[in-house]
Structure 1
Amino acid sequence: MVEKEKRLSADKTVMALEEVLARLERAILSKQARFKSGSSEQADFINQLEKENRALSRELEVARDNVEKLEERLERLEKAGDSAQQEIGIMIRQLDSLIAEQNTQ
């Protein structure tokens, strides 16, 4: 009888250990799944950030090109303004000369 009880006790111990092992396996698989899910979400987030970064870089390059074009246009307009001021100065002197000539006549 003692032998039978030892056998039952050993069987119960084996079953309990198998149950514990099964729970551990499930817990490990669950953690692995969560880790993979978290890693996948992080990878997706990083990919999204990289995509947005590339788009913003392109926008920045376009903006820089536009700024350069505007600076060139401003320079041309400033030169044209300087040239126009010089021409106006010449015309004023010519008009002053004509007025002076008419006043002397």
Structure 2
Amino acid sequence: MPKAWSAKRERQYEHIKESAEDRGTSTKRAKEIAARTVNKERAQAGEARESSRSSTQDISPGRRGGLRSGTKRPKGLTRDQLYNEARQRNIKGRSTMNKKQLAKALGHSSEIES
């Protein structure tokens, strides 16, 4: 747990981590899930120093309730998520691409269906 978290966020982290472990998730994965959830909550509440656009404009992890968790995602990644991945891979022309074109350029065959 980072030192910058408040006591409330530390309790939230522990609760999410323990819940994930109770469901059979490995300790390492449970810590990752808890940290990502808490960081996203902090970003949406304006507590984080830096936050991505998808963290602040997406629905909260608590409200989403795992809508996009796991492998069964009918819509797949958002256009912003695909764009960020394309930026990390330094794909040329990404700023003018739509979701379908980004998915194709990244090789996400399951994304092209949507």
Structure with the higher fraction of residues in helix conformation: 1
Q: Taking CA–CA contacts closer than 8 Å with sequence separation of 6 or more, which of the two structures ends up with the larger relative contact order?
A: 2
Larger radius of gyration: 1
**TM bin (shorter chain):** under 0.3
TM-score normalised over the length of structure 1: 0.20
TM-score normalised over the length of structure 2: 0.19
